[in-house]
């Protein structure tokens, strides 16, 4: 006799709480609603299209049509599904001394427990799983923070990574303790084609260097026997890990001054490239990382902050694609959205899941699809929800799980082609100019005519900019930013990737006073800080003043020491104010 479950979930007919952009290339197949009262934390889709969702109070399985197959009170923070449709749940258990342990549970395809394994670290402290993954042979790996005490501030934790075989036998445990034995907290786990294991997370490298104990990353690589092969560190707070087909590992995170930092290491742990995305004065928090089958890297993240000139708050979900050698290929954004997750499909298309605030009391899950070239193809919303996870099955089906006030929703979407939809043949390209220059941006598009155009600045429509070419003269620093264009027709809308226009700061005058002083006027970016430097030989540069700013964008500065020099050259460098650790 099957035990009655407290988790109540049911199937809901097509079309619940969904809003799709008109004429979009996607439609909703089904939505399932679960009222477990606690929401979801993770989702996995099997090769057969079955959907598994887990959370604090249980795990639910749906078939490919959205009908519930089973649910169980075994819930957790992460999931894995093997080729035999067995389900692995990463959870926690309370041991006899009252501390938290790793709990790993294997369920068969019908939801019946096959085995469970509890791990208590060597010193009896708290141990909490963060991630899990399967290798090609069906072995299971879990990793988490181990050995400290959650109730004690700055308690010492280590990375603890465990390998189990299919029957639940523990094959090895590998622990990593940072250089000064403080906080080491893993956040992601990946397995390469040779079944080597990669773990990345927060480490105390930062404490050792004086950059702040929560702001450094360690990535460790183990072989199939759990032997440590190498450690790579990065001055950033980690958020993602991916391994490409040749064993290169990519890590992304939020670095100093909350910039986005992405680095690539080869299979021997040597850094191949390092990419810094500085959206000063905004903060950047990467939320998604993926590598395609040719080694291109895609990172999505939330950019937020205050415009220094207008003091207005801004928020955007920004996606950046780079080539395998670290060259930026395209940038796209969704304004007023907070990134949550990102996946790539088999054609190199990019799906980004974010949250948008509809009004003071309602938020929605927003899914945005880009093609491999960064053109936005469609958007879909799941209203009255808070997005959690995004998955794509082998047939291209798209799945979103989002929390609600009573539990969670799972929605499946399918794409279909639209003949005649606008396509971007040649997107606008970025430019770097000085103040007063003429900027011309152009797009070449194809599709069923007539084609309509709407240019955007940082994701927002520019009034009156409705031609295939955007021209503006006498450009000022306030014009610096990211430009894209919507191309629409009777079939639908396609949005180009962004073109960055950079406006250089420039000295517009230098007057010599009777005393021999030099009065400088700098056309700059309003609200930003600058350091003013001088040189007498264009080789050695010395600082005259730093943290110079003016909210109008025009900085007046006097060099009182110029009278003692025969000649002087000046330059101004935009300065980022980044406080040190406290």
- Asked whether residue 386 is assigned to any structural domain, the reply reads no
**At residue 577, does pLDDT exceed 50?**
no
- Answer yes or no: pTM beyond 0.85: no
Higher-pLDDT residue of 381 and 572 is 381
What's the domain range around 522? 506-575
Closest residue by Cα to residue 338 from 361, 315, 358: 315
Q: What pLDDT shows up at residue 389?
A: 96
Question: Please, are residues 120 and 134 in contact by the beta-carbon 8 Å criterion?
Answer: no
Give dist(CA 434, CA 184) in Å, integer: 46
Long-range CB contact pairs, 63-66, < 8 A, 24+: 64/397, 65/30, 66/11, 66/29, 66/30, 66/31, 66/32, 66/410, 66/412
Per-residue burial over 279-298, b = 16 or more CB atoms within 10 Å of its CB, e = otherwise: bbbbbbbbbbbbbbeebbbb
3-state secondary structure 10-47: EEECCCCCEEECCCCCEEEEEEEEEECCCCCCEEEECC
Q: How far is CA 190 from the centre of its chain?
A: 17
Least confident of 118-122, 275-279, 483-487: 275-279
Work out the pLDDT band at 256, boundaries 50, 70, 90. low
Q: Do 521 and 493 fall into the same domain?
A: no
Q: Return the SS3 of 207.
A: helix
**Which range, of 290-304, 414-428, 560-574, averages the lowest pLDDT?**
560-574
Is 471 inside a domain boundary?
A: yes
∠ CA(571), CA(574), CA(579), 5° rounding?
Answer: 130
Same domain for 511 and 498, yes or no, is no
User: At which of 475, 503, 531 does a domain end?
Assistant: 503
Percent of the chain with pLDDT over 70: 88
Separation between Cα atoms, residue 370 and residue 377, nearest integer Å: 6
**Which tokens is 163 given?**
């390998």
What is the pLDDT at residue 58? Answer: 93
Please name which of 239, 286, 240 lies closest in space to residue 259, comparing C-alpha atoms: 286
Q: Buried (b) or exposed (e) across 98-126, using 16+ Cβ within 10 A?
A: ebbbbbbbbbebebeeeeebebbbeeebb
The answer to whether 141 and 189 have CB atoms below 8 angstroms apart is yes
**Whether residue 434 is found in the same domain as residue 493:** yes
Residue 173 confidence (pLDDT): 97
For residue 439, being part of any structural domain is answered with: yes
Could you tell me if 481 and 524 lie in one domain?
no
Buried b vs exposed e over 163-180: b needs ≥16 C-beta within 10 Å?
Answer: bbebeeeeeeebbbbbee
Q: What is the DSSP letter of 157?
A: B
Nearest Cα to Cα of residue 289 among 278, 277, 279, 301: 301
Kindly state whether residues 499 and 427 are assigned to the same domain: yes
Establish if 42 belongs to a structural domain. no
| E-only strand ranges, 156-196 | 158-164, 170-176, 185-191
DSSP 79-97: EEE-TT--EEEEEEEE-TT
Report the candidate in 379, 302, 370 with the shortest Cα–Cα distance to residue 339.
302
The band of 309, judged by pLDDT with boundaries at 50, 70 and 90, is low
- Are both 497 and 551 inside the same structural domain? no
Answer whether residue 559 is part of any domain: yes
The mean predicted confidence, pLDDT, of the chain is 86
Which two structure tokens, joined as six digits, stand for 322?
């780079």
Q: Does 190 fall in a domain?
A: no
Token couple for 459: 């994701």
Are residues 477 and 522 located together in one domain of the fold?
Answer: no
Q: Mean per-residue pLDDT for 62-67?
A: 94
What does the pLDDT average to over 367-373?
A: 95
Confidence of residue 19 (pLDDT cuts 50, 70, 90): low
* Confidence band, pLDDT 50/70/90 cuts, at residue 530: confident
Question: Can you give the pLDDT at residue 575?
Answer: 62
> pLDDT band at residue 31, thresholds of 50, 70 and 90?
very high
How far apart CA 186 and CA 77 sit, in angstroms, is 14
Same domain, 487 and 522: no
In a domain, 304, yes or no: no
Highest-confidence range of 75-89, 244-258, 473-487, by mean pLDDT? 75-89
DSSP state of 209: H
For residue 378, name the pLDDT band (cuts at 50, 70, 90).
very high
Q: Taking 70 as the threshold, does the pLDDT of residue 14 lie above it?
A: no
Q: Chain centroid to CA 324: how far?
A: 18
Contact predicate 198/189, CB 8 Å: yes
Q: Which of the two residues, 474 and 574, has the higher pLDDT score?
A: 474
pLDDT, mean of residues 331-356: 94
What CATH number is attached to the domain comprising 491?
2.60.40.10
| Higher pLDDT pick, 392 / 529 | 392
Place of tokens 């089973």: 70
* Residue where a domain terminates, one of 451, 472, 503: 503
Same domain for 481 and 521, yes or no, is: no
Give the burial string for 351-388 (b: 16+ CB within 10 Å, else e).
bbbbbbeeeeeebbbbbbbbbbbbbbbbbbbbbbbbbb
Task: Please state, in angstroms and rounded to a whole number, the distance separating the CA atoms of residues 329 and 275.
Answer: 13
Enumerate the β-bridge partners of residue 263: 251, 274
Structural domain tally of the chain?
2
Higher pLDDT, 327 or 116: 116
Is 12 a residue whose pLDDT tops 50? no
Lowest mean pLDDT among 91-95, 108-112, 148-152, 343-347: 148-152
| End position of a domain, from candidates 486, 503, 520 | 503
Task: Kindly state whether residue 434 falls inside one of the protein's structural domains.
Answer: yes
Tokens encoding 258: 């909350």
The answer on pLDDT for 580 being more than 80 is no
CATH number at residue 551: 2.60.40
The residue ranking higher by pLDDT, 257 or 579, is 257
> With DSSP H G I counted as helix, E B as strand and the rest as coil, what are the percentages for the chain, rounded to 5?
0, 55, 40
Collect all residues with Cβ–Cβ distance below 8 Å to 3 and sequence separation of at least 6.
Answer: none
Distance set, CA 112 to CA 91, 139, 169, 227 (Å): 16, 19, 19, 34
Q: Encode pLDDT of 429-449 as tens digits.
A: 999 888 888 999 999 999 999
Instruction: Report the distance separating Cα 63 and Cα 111, nearest Å.
Output: 13
Quick one: 433 and 494 in the same domain? yes
Quick one: pLDDT at residue 7?
39
Dihedral angle sign, alpha carbons of residues 252, 255, 261, 266: negative
Report CA-CA distances (Å) from 477 to 248, 465, 498.
Answer: 39, 19, 18
């Amino acid at each position: 006799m099957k035990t009655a479950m407290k988790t109540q979930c049911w199937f809901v007919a097509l079309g619940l709480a969904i809003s799709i952009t008109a004429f979009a290339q996607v439609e909703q197949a089904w939505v399932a609603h679960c009222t477990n009262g606690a929401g979801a934390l993770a989702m996995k889709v099997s090769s057969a299209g079955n959907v598994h969702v887990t959370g604090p109070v249980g795990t639910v399985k749906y078939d490919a049509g959205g009908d519930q197959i089973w649910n169980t009170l075994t819930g957790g923070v992460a999931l894995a599904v093997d080729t035999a449709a067995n389900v692995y749940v990463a959870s926690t258990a309370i041991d006899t001394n009252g501390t938290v342990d790793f709990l790993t549970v294997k369920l068969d395809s019908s939801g019946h427990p096959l085995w469970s394994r509890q791990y208590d670290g060597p010193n009896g402290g708290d141990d909490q799983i963060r991630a899990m993954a399967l290798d090609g042979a069906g072995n299971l790996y879990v990793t988490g923070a181990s050995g400290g005490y959650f109730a004690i501030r700055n308690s010492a934790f280590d990375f603890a990574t465990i390998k189990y075989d299919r029957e639940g036998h523990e094959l090895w445990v590998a622990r990593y303790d940072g250089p000064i034995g403080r906080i080491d907290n893993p956040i992601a786990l990946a397995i390469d084609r040779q079944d080597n294991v990669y773990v990345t997370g927060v480490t105390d490298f930062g404490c050792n260097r004086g950059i702040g104990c929560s702001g450094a990353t360690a990535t460790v690589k183990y072989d199939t026997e759990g032997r440590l092969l190498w450690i790579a560190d990065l001055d950033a707070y980690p958020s993602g890990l991916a391994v490409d087909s040749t064993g290169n590992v990519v890590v992304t995170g939020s670095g100093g001054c909350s910039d986005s930092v992405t680095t690539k290491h080869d299979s021997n742990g040597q850094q191949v490239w390092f990419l810094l995305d500085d959206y000063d004065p905004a903060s950047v928090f990467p939320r998604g990382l993926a590598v395609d089958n040719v080694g291109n890297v895609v990172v999505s993240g939330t950019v937020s902050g205050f415009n220094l000139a207008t003091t207005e708050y801004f928020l955007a979900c920004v996606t950046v694609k780079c080539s395998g050698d670290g060259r930026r290929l395209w940038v796209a954004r969704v304004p007023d959205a907070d990134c949550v997750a990102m996946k790539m499909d088999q054609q190199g298309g990019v799906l980004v899941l974010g949250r948008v605030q509809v009004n003071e009391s309602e938020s929605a899950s927003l899914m945005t699809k880009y093609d491999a070239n960064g053109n936005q193809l469609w958007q879909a919303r799941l209203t009255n929800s808070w997005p959690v996870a995004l998955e794509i099955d082998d047939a291209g089906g798209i799945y979103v799980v989002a929390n609600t006030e009573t539990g969670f929703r799972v929605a499946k979407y399918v794409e279909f082609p639209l003949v005649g939809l606008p396509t971007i043949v040649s997107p606008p390209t970025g430019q770097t100019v000085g103040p007063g220059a003429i900027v011309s941006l152009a797009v070449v598009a194809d599709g069923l005519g007539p084609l309509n155009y709407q240019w955007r600045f940082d994701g927002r429509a520019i009034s009156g900019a409705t031609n295939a070419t955007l021209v503006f003269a006498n450009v000022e620093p306030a014009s610096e930013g990211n430009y894209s264009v919507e191309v629409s027709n009777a079939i639908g809308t396609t949005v180009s990737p962004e073109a960055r226009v950079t406006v250089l700061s420039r000295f517009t005058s230098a007057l010599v006073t009777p005393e021999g002083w030099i009065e400088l006027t700098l056309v700059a970016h309003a609200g930003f800080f600058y350091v003013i430097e001088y040189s007498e030989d264009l080789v050695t540069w010395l600082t005259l003043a730093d943290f110079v700013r003016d909210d109008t964008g025009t900085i007046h500065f006097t060099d009182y020491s110029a009278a003692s020099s025969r000649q002087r050259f000046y330059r101004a460098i935009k300065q980022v104010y980044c406080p040190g650790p406290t």
